[in-house]
């Protein structure tokens, strides 16, 4: 009998771990996939692992939004994201078919709707190094959005910039800089 008890004692923790893994995998695969444009890539940081960090470029979100929004409503026909809006409150978010919420426990905390990161295996990271540095490429991250408003970035791909995106980028790069601020001469000097 002691052999059976030992076998059960060894098998029970393994069965528990297998169950937790299966539940985690099942949860990860649930949800709606969306293609979200991103910008501001930070190539992998070898001290932190093989991650690419980026900023979400949510279509329809005004650049003058005061601080990171705590929630967003995705609009469109998945995976094509037409635009996002910022719900006024929880009641408005409840009416949203595809809600996203910032999660304070995530790596970026309450800024999680604005910034993201994606793990890349070593071979894929090497292949993306050149693409990340190409200013004529647009990054598109696929996220999986769940009913509770949480989401996970699952992959990244790149496409050439459209003529409109190229024109906007070029217009931003030739916009004149503000004139330099000249220091006032100190009192009592002859300038």
- Give tens-digit pLDDT for 110-150: 788 888 888 877 777 777 777 877 888 899 999 999 988 88
Assign 91 a pLDDT band (cuts: 50, 70, 90). confident
User: In terms of pLDDT, which residue wins out, 145 or 172?
Assistant: 145
Tokens of 173: 């790069």
Domain extent listing, the chain: 41-162
What is the pLDDT at residue 163?
Answer: 92
Q: Which residue has the higher pLDDT, 136 or 24?
A: 136
Name the phi and psi angles at 129, rounded to 5: -55, -50
0.75 exceeded by pTM: no
Tokens 């409150």 belong to 89
pLDDT at 180: 47
Quote the mean pLDDT of the chain. Answer: 79
Provide the pLDDT confidence category of residue 78 given band limits of 50, 70 and 90: very high
Better-scored residue on pLDDT, 127 or 176: 127
- Per-residue model confidence (pLDDT) at position 191: 45
3-state secondary structure 74-101: EEEECCEEEEEECCCCHHHHHCCCCEEE
Query: Which pLDDT value is given to residue 29?
Result: 63
Residue 182: predicted pLDDT: 43
Query: How far apart (Å, rounded) are the C-alpha atoms in residues 32 and 109?
Result: 22
Helix runs in the chain, H state only: 2-28, 90-94, 122-132, 163-174
Helical ranges in 29-142 per DSSP H: 90-94, 122-132
């Amino acid at each position: 009998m002691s052999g059976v008890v030992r076998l059960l004692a060894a098998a029970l923790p393994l069965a528990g771990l297998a169950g937790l893994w299966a539940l985690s995998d099942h949860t990860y695969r649930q949800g709606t996939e969306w293609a979200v444009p991103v910008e501001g890539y930070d190539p992998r940081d070898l001290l932190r692992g093989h991650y690419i960090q980026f900023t979400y470029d949510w279509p329809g979100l005004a650049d003058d939004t005061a601080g990171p929004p705590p929630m967003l409503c995705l609009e469109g026909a998945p995976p094509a994201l037409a635009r996002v809006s910022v719900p006024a409150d929880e009641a408005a978010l409840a009416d949203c078919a595809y809600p996203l919420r910032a999660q304070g426990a995530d790596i970026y905390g309450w800024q999680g709707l604005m910034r993201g990161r994606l793990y890349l295996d070593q071979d894929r990271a090497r292949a993306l190094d050149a693409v990340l540095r190409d200013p004529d490429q647009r990054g598109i991250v696929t996220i999986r959005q769940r009913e509770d408003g949480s989401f996970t970035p699952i992959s990244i791909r790149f496409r050439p910039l459209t003529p409109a995106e190229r024109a906007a980028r070029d217009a931003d790069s030739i916009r004149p800089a503000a004139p330099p601020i000249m220091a006032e001469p100190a009192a009592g000097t002859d300038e």
